[in-house]
């Protein structure tokens, strides 16, 4: 049975792009007699807010979406992230890193999908783990896992290229997991068979595929959909006037009618589906 999920981070209110992403996930799951789960990605204690999580649930219900089972909150799953990180440490694949964002910026000589590429400054240093982030020794991890492939429903078979990311952070200084580790573990724990999300997260799937191999997790399929963009091709942003779902709801707009329009590809003036599918991303 197919099972999809929508996994917003409660550090801001949803906009029309999120509505589109939620509808894609919902329809690909429920539309094939499967299930659709809702996961609130709230491990970032400094930026996550319970009131925003509440607004997200209300906005999705206003659109007419229903989800299966209870809402999953990542903040209730910290122990499972810590256990997976321990396992990776035992395999000798993680090392502590105390570099700040500014250190990385100053030392990087290349860029990866998430910005400046960490040059591996702390690798092999056996630094003080107290209060450090933990990074994946990418070269060792890739050597251990061997060649990997994954399947995107729109872009086809992809050879995994996690090395594009360099030594990614898997345990943050301020949280027991980074997005990559938490999302990968949760998709496995929840039996997600089709991971749907925007094209902007296409490269992240290279890392997730590697983590699945290292941690013996089941491998789902992926569906990275085009993003809803402004007329000039830029991502939606509230500061440029893209309306938030909560505002539309408060203004008495018809949520199911908006959902129907988005499903039919009728986007509000000035918005369109941008990007298309870029296999290599």
Q: Binding to ligand GLU by residue 74, rule CB under 6 A? A: no
Q: Which stretch binds ligand GLU (CB under 6 A): 6-14, 59-67, 130-138, 220-228?
A: 6-14
Query: Smallest Cα–Cα separation from 208: which of 275, 277, 145?
Result: 145
CB of 106 to ligand GLU, least distance (A): 27
Q: Which stretch binds ligand GLU (CB under 6 A): 7-15, 79-87, 105-113, 148-156?
A: 7-15
Q: Binding to ligand GLU by residue 9, rule CB under 6 A? A: yes
Q: Binding to ligand GLU by residue 154, rule CB under 6 A? A: no
Q: Which of residues 231-250 bind ligand GLU (CB under 6 A)?
A: none
Please state, in angstroms and rounded to a whole number, the distance separating the CA atoms of residues 231 and 128.
49
Q: Which residue of 8, 17, 162, 275 would you call a contact of ligand GLU, by CB under 6 A?
A: 8
What tokens were used for 197?
């999300």
| Binding track over 159-188 against ligand GLU, x by CB under 6 A | ------------------------x-----
Q: Binding to ligand GLU by residue 209, rule CB under 6 A? A: no
Q: Which stretch binds ligand GLU (CB under 6 A): 4-12, 113-121, 247-255, 271-279?
A: 4-12
Instruction: State which residue, 6 or 95, has the beta carbon closest to ligand GLU.
Output: 6
What tokens were used for 45?
């204690």
| 3 state SS for the chain | CCEEEECCCCCCCCEHHHHHHHHHHHHHHHCCCCEEEEEECCCCCCCCCHHHHHHHHHHHHHHCCCCCCCCEEHHHCHHHHHHHHHHHHHCCCEEEECCCHHHHHHHCCCEECCEECCCCCCCCCCCCCCCCEEEECHHHHHHHHCCCEEEECCCEEEECCHHHHCCCEEECCCCCCCHHHHHHHHHHHCCCCEEEEEHHHCCHHHHHHHHHHHCCCCCCEEEEECEEEECCCCECCHHHCCCEHHHHHHCCCCHHHHHHHHHCCCCCCCEEEECCCCCCC
| Binding track over 19-58 against ligand GLU, x by CB under 6 A | ----------------------x-----------------
CB of 15 to ligand GLU, least distance (A): 11
Q: Which stretch binds ligand GLU (CB under 6 A): 5-13, 42-50, 97-105, 120-128?
A: 5-13
CB of 92 to ligand GLU, least distance (A): 27
Q: Binding to ligand GLU by residue 197, rule CB under 6 A? A: yes
- Overall size of the chain counted in residues: 281
Instruction: State which residue, 137 or 152, has the beta carbon closest to ligand GLU.
Output: 152
Task: Report the residue closest to ligand GLU, judged by CB.
Answer: 197
Q: Which residue of 4, 7, 16, 59 would you call a contact of ligand GLU, by CB under 6 A?
A: 7
Query: Smallest Cα–Cα separation from 262: which of 64, 68, 66, 67?
Result: 64
Where along the sequence are the contacts to ligand GLU (CB under 6 A)? 7-9, 41, 183, 197, 201
């Amino acid at each position: 049975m197919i099972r999809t999920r929508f996994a917003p981070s409660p550090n801001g209110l949803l906009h029309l792009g999120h509505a589109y992403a939620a509808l894609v996930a919902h329809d690909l799951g429920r539309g094939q007699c499967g299930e659709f789960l809702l996961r609130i990605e709230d491990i970032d204690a400094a930026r996550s807010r319970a009131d925003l999580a509440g607004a997200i649930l209300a906005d999705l219900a206003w659109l007419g979406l229903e989800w299966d089972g209870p809402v999953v909150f990542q903040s209730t799953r910290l122990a499972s992230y810590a256990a997976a990180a321990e396992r990776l440490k035992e395999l000798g694949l993680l090392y502590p890193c105390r570099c700040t964002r500014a250190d990385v910026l100053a030392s990087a000589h290349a860029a990866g999908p998430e910005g400046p590429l960490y040059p591996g400054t702390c690798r092999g240093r056996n630094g003080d783990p107290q209060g450090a982030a933990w990074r994946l020794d990418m070269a060792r991890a890739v050597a251990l896992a061997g060649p990997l492939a994954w399947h995107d429903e729109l872009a086809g078979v992809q050879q995994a290229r996690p090395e594009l990311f360099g030594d990614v952070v898997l345990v943050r200084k301020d949280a027991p997991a980074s997005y990559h580790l938490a999302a990968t573990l949760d998709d496995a724990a929840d039996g997600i068979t089709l991971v749907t999300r925007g094209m902007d997260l296409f490269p992240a799937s290279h890392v997730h595929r590697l983590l699945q191999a290292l941690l013996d997790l089941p491998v789902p399929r992926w569906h990275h959909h085009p993003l809803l963009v402004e007329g000039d091709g830029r991502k939606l942003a509230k500061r440029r006037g893209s309306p938030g779902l909560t505002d539309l709801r408060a203004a008495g707009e018809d949520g199911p009618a908006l959902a129907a329009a988005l499903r039919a590809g009728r986007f509000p003036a000035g918005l369109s589906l941008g990007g298309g599918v870029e296999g290599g991303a």
